[in-house]
Every structure is written in C-alpha cells, then in structure tokens.
C-alpha cells in the first residue's frame, strides 16, 4: 500500500486539519492515515517512513562521536534521531534533545509515532526548545551528563541564525571537542540541498548538505544519510 503523497506533504495536510478543526495533531495524523488505508499514523510511518536497523545503527555509534544526519524533508530525520535516543535510554543512558524546530507537543507526537511514551523514561529524557539554543547553551546544559549520553541537535542550519551566536564553524568545533572530552554521542540533524535527486543517487552525500554558512564537514567523524526508508552510515575522514 502506497500513500497518495509523500509523507511530508501528508504531515503538512494534517497540520492544517488540526489547526482548522482545532483537534490534536496526532488525531489529525491518524485521520490522514486511515484515509490512506492504514490503521493509524504509526502504521503508515512503520510501512513508509520506517527506520530499519535502528538498534544496529545505535550499536555502530560510540561515545565521542559527532554525527551529521542528513536527508530531504519527509525522510524521517527527526524520527531516526528520536529512535536512537530511545535506544540509548533503553540501554540505561540519558538522552537530551535540543530543537530549534519542534515544540514539546511535537515531540510527544513523535514519540507516539514510534509507539513510545516519554514518561516511561523519566528523567533520562530531556527535551529543550529554548530560542537561545546554540553550542555553548547545549554544552552548559549537558555539562553534568554522564559518559555515554546521547545528544540530538535539531537542526544544524539553525544554530547560528541569531546574530549574537558564534559562527557555525566555531560552534561545531566546540561541540566536537565537548563530545570527545565528555565521551558523549552528539547527532546534528541537517537539511539537504533541493538539488539532490533521489532518482539519480540512492543517498545524499556530504556534497549535498545545505550550507548557507561556511562549515568544514570534516569536523564530523560519522555521517548518516536517509532516503526512501533506508539508512546509510559512513565514516568521515575527520579534520585534525
């Protein structure tokens, strides 16, 4: 069974329904999904926005890693990052999710899409959507977290949008040093240029990452690319 439109378009339609009918977003998403012939939104996501081998992917990450996770809209970047956070918490680790894009309500909806409940993890999960998020803020809030903690930054291209924030290169250098020193795993969600053509390339590459401001992608030591429900993880030759 194939949806009538890409996942991201169905999500946008659900948001409009939720706003106009004044109903919760998860109810609007389920409404869209049943109209597409699925049991609910979780069923639709599992079939067409699925995130295979998340456990294997989590096992391939290590404390000290700085990972860039990139894809076009609607390919499951946020779901994947949250799924990895859930894997970390299931392993007894802490997970912190910093978002300049999602709200706390959005995050609850994403947990539901993964058939998970944030309350089940207690204080092991922290969600932060403050307007002032940047590398220094993330480091300050994560400073007391134990080794093995997983940190998600949503998303890369918004970190230096405020004029008072340091440039993007400086922020990523700071995050890399912090991840290595504190032995945490940091994942930065990233956009991909519209020029990327999934018909010609099975996955995006580092060359497809959208960079409105200068950034040496060699500061990351791993890259995760998503497309059409599939994931590819690769090592990056890190900048010294």
Asked whether residue 240 is assigned to any structural domain, the reply reads: no
User: Which H/E stretch holds residue 4?
Assistant: none
Strand pairing report for 150-154 and 125-128: unpaired
What CATH number does the domain containing 172 carry?
3.40.50.300
Tokens representing 151 are: 């940190």
125 and 16 inside one domain = no
**Same domain flag for 126 and 15:** no
Strands (E) across 48-149 are located at: 66-70, 95-99, 125-128
Q: Are residues 75 and 12 in the same domain?
A: no
Q: Record the tokens describing residue 152, joined without a space.
A: 């998600």
Q: Are 40 and 158 contained in the same domain?
A: no
**pLDDT tens digits in sequence order for the chain, 240 residues long:** 567 777 767 888 888 999 999 998 888 888 988 888 877 776 676 566 555 578 889 999 999 999 999 999 888 899 999 999 999 999 999 999 999 999 999 999 889 888 889 999 999 999 999 999 999 999 999 999 999 999 999 999 999 999 999 999 999 999 999 999 999 999 999 999 999 998 899 999 999 999 999 999 999 999 999 987 788 999 998 777
Distance, in Å, from the CA atom of 198 to the CA atom of 20, rounded to the nearest integer, reads 33
Residue 49 pLDDT: 53
Residue 64 falls inside a structural domain = yes
Whether 121 is in a domain gets the answer yes
Measured CA distances, 214 to 78, 179, 211, 233, 236 (Å)? 24, 21, 7, 23, 18
Answer whether residue 2 is part of any domain. no
**With DSSP H G I counted as helix, E B as strand and the rest as coil, what are the percentages for the chain, rounded to 5?**
45, 15, 40
Residues 32 and 147 in one domain: no
* Residue 137 shares a structural domain with residue 168: yes
Q: Give the domain range for residue 11.
A: 7-48
Rounded distance between C-alpha atoms, residue 29 and residue 26, angstroms: 5
Sheet of strand 125-128, all strands in order from the earlier edge strand to the far edge? 125-128, 95-99, 150-154, 185-190, 66-70, 222-227, 230-235
Residue 1 lies in a domain: no
| Same domain, residue pair 104 and 37 | no
CA dist list (Å): 171 to 134, 148, 156, 188? 7, 21, 10, 12
The count of domains in the chain is: 2
For the chain, how long is the longest CA-to-CA vector?
A: 53
Q: Are residues 21 and 137 in the same domain?
A: no
């Amino acid at each position: 069974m194939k949806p009538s439109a890409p996942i991201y378009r169905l999500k946008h339609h659900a948001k409009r329904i939720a706003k106009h009918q004044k109903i919760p977003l998860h109810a609007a998403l389920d409404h869209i999904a049943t109209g597409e012939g699925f049991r609910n939104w979780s069923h639709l996501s599992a079939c067409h926005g699925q995130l295979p081998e998340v456990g294997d992917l989590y096992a391939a990450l290590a404390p000290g890693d700085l990972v860039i996770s990139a894809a076009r809209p609607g390919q499951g970047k946020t779901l994947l990052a949250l799924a990895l956070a859930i894997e970390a918490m299931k392993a007894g680790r802490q997970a912190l999710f910093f978002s300049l894009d999602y709200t706390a309500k959005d995050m609850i909806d994403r947990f539901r899409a993964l058939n998970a409940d944030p309350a089940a993890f207690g204080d092991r999960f922290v969600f932060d959507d403050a307007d002032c998020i940047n590398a220094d803020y993330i480091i300050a809030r994560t400073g007391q977290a134990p080794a093995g903690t997983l940190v998600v930054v949503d998303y890369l291209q918004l970190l230096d949008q405020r004029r008072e924030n340091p440039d993007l290169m400086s922020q990523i250098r700071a995050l890399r040093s912090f991840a290595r020193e504190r032995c945490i795993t940091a994942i930065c969600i990233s956009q991909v240029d519209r020029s990327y053509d999934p018909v010609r390339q099975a996955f995006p590459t580092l060359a497809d990452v959208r960079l409105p401001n200068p950034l040496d992608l060699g500061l990351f030591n791993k890259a995760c690319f998503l497309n059409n429900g599939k994931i590819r993880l690769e090592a990056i030759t890190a900048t010294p």
